[in-house]
Structure 1
């Protein structure tokens, strides 16, 4: 019996020469704010001028971080690929409090199980995640993101890299116009 093969769709948007990599944690409020600006950035700068790549840096103080990163990456293995991942990320960002603990340690989610969190994410995103979530070696993709972040000295989210260099003065609160200006330089 042959094992089914899978492929995580690269979370790459646009095809221009200026590379903008964003390292996100799905439930981080600052990552959610940055994620919410990426489509506007692509529209403003132009798909032929910049390439946006989504990367993940799971953070243990966001208690469901690893679970949700796995859900996002799992969704990219399904038909619809990277667009599914964007849909799942958008659902998390829109209902962030449904996936996070109050003050990182309490609240209603203290009684939530991983199964309930995944069911909730399926309901909000409209994407069936369970089969993809259960891909036995999906952790290879998750580990790649973690290793890539560490190799680049990235430990918090959001962090931004432009053309391979970390940009400590880029922030999620910056206007999209500032990002575009710096990328198109």
Structure 2
């Protein structure tokens, strides 16, 4: 295995402020999709000098393609400009959610979809080459790191928000950006 095979995906961190907001998202969860759409507007609202925003991917088994799609996002993070490409990939999945999720978590058109077909579908929507970085050992290590961080912090569902290192259940996906900003204090 060469160094290129070990390419480490970029961390999904924006801003550099003293307050840290960590958000655990599952790519196809409708509540995670709704929460993800608030993150960049929230950062713009409160300012990058005030807030550090970190996204963690939290694969969940009842979203049956979750592991494959999480790995695709981390594969995008291993590309040049990885953080932004990973964010674009996460948002692309949310924007085309029905193409990447089973109906009722167990049926529908996606029952006949293979992992390779799913990757190709995402490559078309995202306009990125994900198949090669999908297989990198660095992506495997990143997947394990995201899962380990969630377990170590008692994260079970998505979206979950941690504020300054503690889970904060006040943040709900149905709230507005302004409500989230007010929760930051």
- State whether TM-score is above 0.5: yes
TM-score, length basis structure 2: 0.96
Q: Which residue of structure 2 aligns with residue 81 of structure 1?
A: 82
* Shift of residue 57, structure 1, vs aligned partner: 1.2
Unaligned regions of 5+ residues in structure 1, if any?
Answer: none
RMSD: 1.1
Q: Which residue of structure 1 aligns with residue 64 of structure 2?
A: 63
Contact 2:42/2:180 (CA < 8 Å) preserved in 1? yes
* Shift of residue 169, structure 1, vs aligned partner: 2.2
Contact 2:75/2:133 (CA < 8 Å) preserved in 1? yes
Report SS of the residue matched to 1:37.
helix
Cα distance change of structure 1 residues 107 and 45 upon mapping to structure 2, 3 Å threshold:
same
TM-score, length basis structure 1: 0.96
Decide which moves more: 5-14 or 76-85.
5-14
* Shift of residue 138, structure 1, vs aligned partner: 2.1
- Tell me how many residue pairs correspond in the alignment: 184
Structure 1 residue ranges (4+ consecutive) displaced by more than 3 angstroms after TM superposition: none
Answer yes or no: is 1:112 the counterpart of 2:121.
Answer: no
Alpha-carbon distance in structure 1 between the residues aligned to 2:68 and 2:78: 16
Alpha-carbon distance in structure 1 between the residues aligned to 2:17 and 2:169: 23
Q: Which residue of structure 1 aligns with residue 145 of structure 2?
A: 144
Report SS of the residue matched to 1:52.
strand
* Shift of residue 180, structure 1, vs aligned partner: 1.0
* Shift of residue 3, structure 1, vs aligned partner: 3.9
Per residue, is there more helix in 1 or in 2? 2
Answer yes or no: is 1:6 the counterpart of 2:7.
Answer: yes
